[in-house]
Structure 1
Amino acid sequence: MLSVGDLVATTLIVTGYPAEVGAGWLDPLLTYPGRLDVSLHVEPVPAQVASDRLRKQRARLEARSRAGQHHGRLEDPETEAAAADAAELAWRVARGEGKLFRVGLYLTLYATDRQSLADEASAVRALAESMLLRCQPATWRALQGWTTCLPLGTDQLEHTRTLDTAALASCFPFSSPQLPVTDPEDEHGVGPVLYGLDAASSGLVMWDRFAQDNHNSVTLARSGAGKSYLAKLEALRLLYQGVQVFVIDPEDEYTRLAHAVGGTVIRLGEPGVHVNPLDLAADGSVDQLTRRALFLHSFLAILLGQTPTPAEKALLDSAILTAYRTAGITLDPRTHSRTAPMLTDLATALTAAGPDGEALAARLAPYTSGSHRGPFEGPTTHRPSGHLTVYSLREVPEELKTAASMITLDAIWQTVTNPHDRRPRLVVIDEAWLLMRDEHGARFVSRMAKSARKRWAGLSVITQDAPDLLATDLGKAVVANAATQILLRQAAPAIDAVTDTFRLSAGEAAYLLTAGKGEALLCAGPGRRAAFQSAASEIEHRLITTDPAELIDDAPDADPGAAR
């Protein structure tokens, strides 16, 4: 025992460890309610020294086993298990798959008097025993134990245990025990992203969407709960790790972030910025024309405001092929590099098809020659490229938001499906209800959610309209195909639908009803849930916040390099 100011302290040395541990296994010690300092000292062992020691250890274990057999003794399970572990570790070190480290784990407790300290020591030792840890007091070395647990980086007790890389990684003190650590050998993994602080412990919630069964996510929250804030934070941190990010931004919330990181902002709806719905993909596939015709059927249904009848579908299909033939484009892949026709060319082909075609062309007139023609009246002016591309739809009229969201998502999808440019990508659809409210838009998002993983892409669907999303089969399909599901504060009318869909407990439902701004529940399958508070650095916060009170003194955004 050592007197430290008005307190007394004692140090416990961890001398025994469990055979197997999981991620965040030190969390019970880190969240102990009393005053407890946990000190972990790590010293790497040189590769040559590690090999020599493992060879000697294996020789000793083998000699002990043979001696027992020579004297007719039964096999010692502990010796055999230790020999097998030593052999496996030796091979991993020899192949460079792991290293050895000397690790010392020490605990220093504080209390106001001797009796309280003895009670605290008993409680901590009982907690350690429940974790299969054996502890011994640092008898006659109280001063050395206390200084060892100070943030000085010196181990004066030098009571260490040799651990390999994997075992040491599980000792990382800030991981969330509810979520598994990403497999470092997963060749498809980009690496974990910090989402925030674990609400139930002192750990961090780190998650790698690209290491899951699929790379999609769904974020549901009421307005003002912080869903877009969290989406921008994840996108920014994925940019650090080489992920290409595309964003459909209806409310111009991502432009400040794009300007700061050198991204591209395409402001659809402004004069001179167009996206041609009839553009063919540049992936060299032989079925480009067929796939484009199928997409145009869905896109034109959105413009027309209803699903065409079978007769109207036949007229539209004929007009689509006629417009391409007029432009010199046929099923022959060699013609696919020619300039694509425009929406006005399609209207011309419809007009030439007779009275029924003229009626369809008249219904499309607002988008070909009327007041809504702006986004579609010219060839595509900008292609999604670079590490971050934001399609800002703020200038698009409300009546065109659904159509604009779909055409920009299609332009992004053409880039994602290009087989000549494979890289991890994230497609963010903010305010996804703009697409999900229309059957054809919802079907397009659903198909994309099912096939994005094959293109090494993740689809992030963000919406505040949870009941409508969960009320349709297509919305449920999008949720079902999202391995990462994030729930922030929910409105009371929506909580029942959310509870049933995500199988929330009563406590989790109550948490979502009362959650503060930025507080969320990450769901990743049975038994893998973690409540957390999103956390950003000061610099990150300035880039992603949209709070008017915080932006009132900021200068207006100005970036001459932004696409307009």
Structure 2
Amino acid sequence: MGRPGSGKSVLSAFLMTQARRAGARIFVFDYRLGMEMAVRANGGRYASLNAGQPTGLNPLWTETDARGTAWLSDWLTTLLYRADKPLTPAQTNRIQEVVRQNAQAANPALRNWRDFASLFVSTDDSGDLHQRLLEWTEEGRYGWIFGQTLEDTFSLEGDVVGFDLTGILDSEAEKERMAVLSYLFRRVEREIEDRRPTIIVIDEAWKALDNAYFAERLSNWLVTARKQNTVAVMMTQYASQLERTRTGKTIVEAVPTQILLPNIRAHAADYAMLNLYEKELDVLLNTGSDSRLALIRDDQGSIVVDADLSALGPNLTILGGMEKGEALVGADYRDRPDFWRLS
């Protein structure tokens, strides 16, 4: 946790890179390309998901086993929810039936949103469910999310995978954020079932947690993640940002370790939900960011550490990426896998 420019992204990138030495797999939910260069320097894959542009995502293609159909039914019930007209029990049952039909389709080519929506035409609800589904087909207002592809082409293969979600996280349409974030996280959730040591990095976590569906499932998942050898690293600027989200308090309680960077522009109230001791607050509020100190807290107490990474030299600039990184390695670094080798 730290204000912009405090070094939280660089510190996270450094810790991520160190974890690779032990063979950890990394997934990065990025914001404003902040960790793109670090991901690529680690030999990773990186893609951007932009609002209004095809994503390559299609849960109708991937969620076809027994657990997948159960998840898809629950997810669709939320996706199609309208406050002014909640789904009836009969409609919920119909969603479950059609999801099973989709999974059992002899021809996989039928697992697209237009054909899926057509299966609701016969539902005895005056066409209500069918109309709701049409919004997600190719020509619907949400069609850019799932309706532009048949086979799910969004790849999570590799040891390090990052995706920029700026356009999604900044979207004012909560339904768009819910649809993309929840399904991406579902894809990651499936990957970590192999129990390989994994780190999930979520930048600007408060933006993701401001969606009820995603936040609720993330908070539940954090409780069991350790059983799957997975940890989540969530970055944000202020504790007060988390406090304003629906499940921020629950998330903070579920995260055993906090790394807090000094912020002389902050106020004690910004950290209220963390229940800091006076000495801890003194470190955060009265230490300049150029000190490169960090306060680490867990269930056993807290300690101040030296987080100065300047000894990394130009590699520190690469971990930070962005304009300074491009000035160092060149704007064409994406086309040069070994761009980080400066000598």
Would the TM-score normalized by the shorter structure come out above 0.5? yes
What residue in structure 1 maps to residue 98 of structure 2?
322
Relative distance call for 1:251 and 1:345 in structure 2 (3 A) is farther
Relative distance call for 1:501 and 1:323 in structure 2 (3 A) is closer
What residue in structure 1 maps to residue 37 of structure 2?
256
Residue 385 of structure 1, CA deviation: 1.9
Deviates more, 1:317-326 or 1:383-392: 317-326
Partner of 2:307: helix, strand, or coil?
A: strand
What residue in structure 2 maps to residue 289 of structure 1?
69
2:275 is equivalent to residue 503 of structure 1: yes
Larger radius of gyration between Structure 1 and Structure 2: 1
AA of the residue aligned to 1:542: T
Residue 247 of structure 1, CA deviation: 0.8
Residue 463 of structure 1, CA deviation: 2.0
Deviations 1:76-118 (A, max 9, x none): xxxxxxxxxxxxxxxxxxxxxxxxxxxxxxxxxxxxxxxxxxx
Relative distance call for 1:243 and 1:550 in structure 2 (3 A) is closer
Residue 395 of structure 1, CA deviation: 5.5
Distance (Å, rounded) in 2 between the aligned partners of 1:307 and 1:542: 51
Relative distance call for 1:251 and 1:480 in structure 2 (3 A) is same
Relative distance call for 1:448 and 1:520 in structure 2 (3 A) is same
Q: Please tell me whether the aligned partners of residues 39 and 46 of structure 2 are also in contact (alpha carbons under 8 angstroms).
A: yes
Deviations 1:442-488 (A, max 9, x none): 10211221111111111112223522423556222211111211122
Residue 363 of structure 1, CA deviation: 4.7
Partner of 2:60: helix, strand, or coil?
A: coil
What residue in structure 1 maps to residue 219 of structure 2?
446
Distance (Å, rounded) in 2 between the aligned partners of 1:474 and 1:257: 30
Q: Please tell me whether the aligned partners of residues 489 and 513 of structure 1 are also in contact (alpha carbons under 8 angstroms).
A: yes
What residue in structure 2 maps to residue 533 of structure 1?
307
Q: Counterparts in 2 of 1:197-346, with a 5 A limit? A: 220-269=1-50, 273-280=55-62, 286-298=66-78, 300=79, 309-311=86-88, 314-328=90-104, 341-346=111-116
Distance (Å, rounded) in 2 between the aligned partners of 1:545 and 1:257: 7
Q: 2:136 aligns with which of 357, 367, 372?
A: 367
Q: Counterparts in 2 of 1:25-424, with a 5 A limit? A: 220-269=1-50, 273-280=55-62, 286-298=66-78, 300=79, 309-311=86-88, 314-328=90-104, 341-355=111-125, 357-358=127-128, 360-363=129-132, 365-368=134-137, 369-377=139-147, 378=149, 379-394=151-166, 396=168, 398=171, 399=173, 400-417=176-193, 421-424=194-197
- Give the structure, 1 or 2, with the largest relative contact order (CA under 8 Å, sep 6 or more): 2
Q: Please tell me whether the aligned partners of residues 222 and 491 of structure 1 are also in contact (alpha carbons under 8 angstroms).
A: no
Distance (Å, rounded) in 1 between the aligned partners of 2:282 and 2:27: 34
What residue in structure 1 maps to residue 340 of structure 2?
none
Count of residues in correspondence between the two structures: 326
What residue in structure 1 maps to residue 318 of structure 2?
543
Identity of aligned residues (%): 21
Partner of 1:486: helix, strand, or coil?
A: strand
Q: Please tell me whether the aligned partners of residues 470 and 497 of structure 1 are also in contact (alpha carbons under 8 angstroms).
A: no
Partner of 2:18: helix, strand, or coil?
A: helix
Deviates more, 1:426-435 or 1:544-553: 544-553
Distance (Å, rounded) in 2 between the aligned partners of 1:557 and 1:236: 22
Q: Please tell me whether the aligned partners of residues 255 and 390 of structure 1 are also in contact (alpha carbons under 8 angstroms).
A: yes
Partner of 1:381: helix, strand, or coil?
A: coil
Residue 355 of structure 1, CA deviation: 4.6
Relative distance call for 1:472 and 1:401 in structure 2 (3 A) is closer
Bigger share in helix = 2
Q: Please tell me whether the aligned partners of residues 209 and 245 of structure 2 are also in contact (alpha carbons under 8 angstroms).
A: no
Residue 327 of structure 1, CA deviation: 4.9
AA of the residue aligned to 1:459: A
Tell me how large the CA RMSD over aligned residues is: 3.4
Q: Please tell me whether the aligned partners of residues 487 and 520 of structure 1 are also in contact (alpha carbons under 8 angstroms).
A: yes
Q: Normalising by structure 1, report the TM-score.
A: 0.51
Q: Please tell me whether the aligned partners of residues 405 and 434 of structure 1 are also in contact (alpha carbons under 8 angstroms).
A: no
Relative distance call for 1:465 and 1:314 in structure 2 (3 A) is farther
Residue 416 of structure 1, CA deviation: 0.9
Relative distance call for 1:437 and 1:295 in structure 2 (3 A) is same
Q: Please tell me whether the aligned partners of residues 295 and 302 of structure 2 are also in contact (alpha carbons under 8 angstroms).
A: no
Distance (Å, rounded) in 2 between the aligned partners of 1:406 and 1:328: 24
2:236 is equivalent to residue 459 of structure 1: no
Q: Please tell me whether the aligned partners of residues 27 and 160 of structure 2 are also in contact (alpha carbons under 8 angstroms).
A: yes
Distance (Å, rounded) in 2 between the aligned partners of 1:433 and 1:533: 24
What residue in structure 2 maps to residue 522 of structure 1?
296
Q: Please tell me whether the aligned partners of residues 520 and 534 of structure 1 are also in contact (alpha carbons under 8 angstroms).
A: no
Q: Normalising by structure 2, report the TM-score.
A: 0.80
Q: Please tell me whether the aligned partners of residues 203 and 235 of structure 2 are also in contact (alpha carbons under 8 angstroms).
A: yes
Distance (Å, rounded) in 1 between the aligned partners of 2:188 and 2:336: 20
